[in-house]
Structure 1
Amino acid sequence: MPSEYAVLSALEAHPDLEAAARRLRGSRIKRLIDIFGALFGLIFLAPMLALVTVLICLESRGGPIFRQRRTGCDGKTFVIYKFRTMTVAEDGEEVVQARRGDSRITPLGSFLRRSSIDELPQLVNVLRGDMSLVGPRPHAIAHDRFYGGQIPAYTLRFEAKPGLTGLAQVSGFRGGTEDVALMAARVDRDLEYIRTWSIWLDLRILLRTLWMGPFDPSAY
């Protein structure tokens, strides 16, 4: 969780962001879209979600759902849900990012990750209010601590609810962040999203996500 001092210092360097974040977080329309969108997705996709659950259990030992702590709005910690795609379930002081050809990823998990189906259980997080359909993508807490110490504006991502998808992801900044510069570019897009947020921007991001999801070469 970021310190209050770190957040205040970052906001002082970005004085336009606080008002924009309040407008975004206070939108009832955005919350209604989140609720109805998540409900529709869970109901419409229920047969596929059930099938994936069974296939994961048949492929390898362990539960079908992967749980990991993430940092949400205002730096509050929540538990994110994903379909299990790996043979490990890291959630400690050190979390190793997945890489291309990672031996920890199961065969089925590879398909789920490339198609983004592994992210669909996060519709439950959206219903619970931990996340929004659109917002800055949440990272493992271990990564938040590392990048928060490297990128001064990193903590400002927590001024908005994390999203199932985001402006950074549809702008080519998806997948692993092998160096700090890649994460800094992602953070820039996240802050741009907060500054320029509108319902129409959310809808454009959702449409681009639906189009790009199964074909994005950066997903692995």
Structure 2
Amino acid sequence: MAAYDLVIFDCDGTLVDSELANNAAFCDELAAEGLTQYTLDYAMTHFVGSSVPTLMKLIADETGHVFPDDFRDRYIRNVSRRIPTDIRPIEHAYETIEIVSKIVPVCVASNGERMNVIDCVKAINAMDVFFTEETIFTKDQVEHPKPAPDLFLYAAAQMGNVPPERCLVIEDSKFGARAGVAAGMDVLGFTGSSHDKLGRAAELSAERVIAVIDDLRDILDYLPD
């Protein structure tokens, strides 16, 4: 069994079951721009794990649409309104983080908007218990978001210059898994959130993760006793 010096959790779809709410918010704001062809079903198939700036560029390239300067802020506010009612913890998230954090340091690395990620960590009562703002890393802190390896490498550096081969990443999306593998880290694919478990299991396996799990407690099988 590999020994790790750091476990890096994604947030959306890994610690919180939020991908549906996030993509609904994104589709709401696209519809306000007249881009109604991007349905929620389409978003859940094609957008999960991508960053908002990446998606805005993709859609601009596809449609020629010019996004207003306040689009991202509108999206952030839309997600914030949904957090109290539409976002819930992944089952066993709190207890798993509690156990893992006693074995090895933990942090979060997310493609999400920073304010939303912090609010989601607060929503599962993990803020200032297992994570702080200094151990939550988001795409705005690096030049290239996932699927580039930058964010995971940055997180490992900030957490004490942990070598990539000593890091274990927990990811629910193909883009995140691809980023972790590109960073030279071991990646566990996670399918325990509510959306498209079978489809994501196949996608994650294709990204050369070391295993696919659907229960966060299974992380403990990959850590020393």
Question: Would you call these one fold, judging by a TM-score over 0.5?
Answer: no
TM-score (structure 1 length as normaliser): 0.29
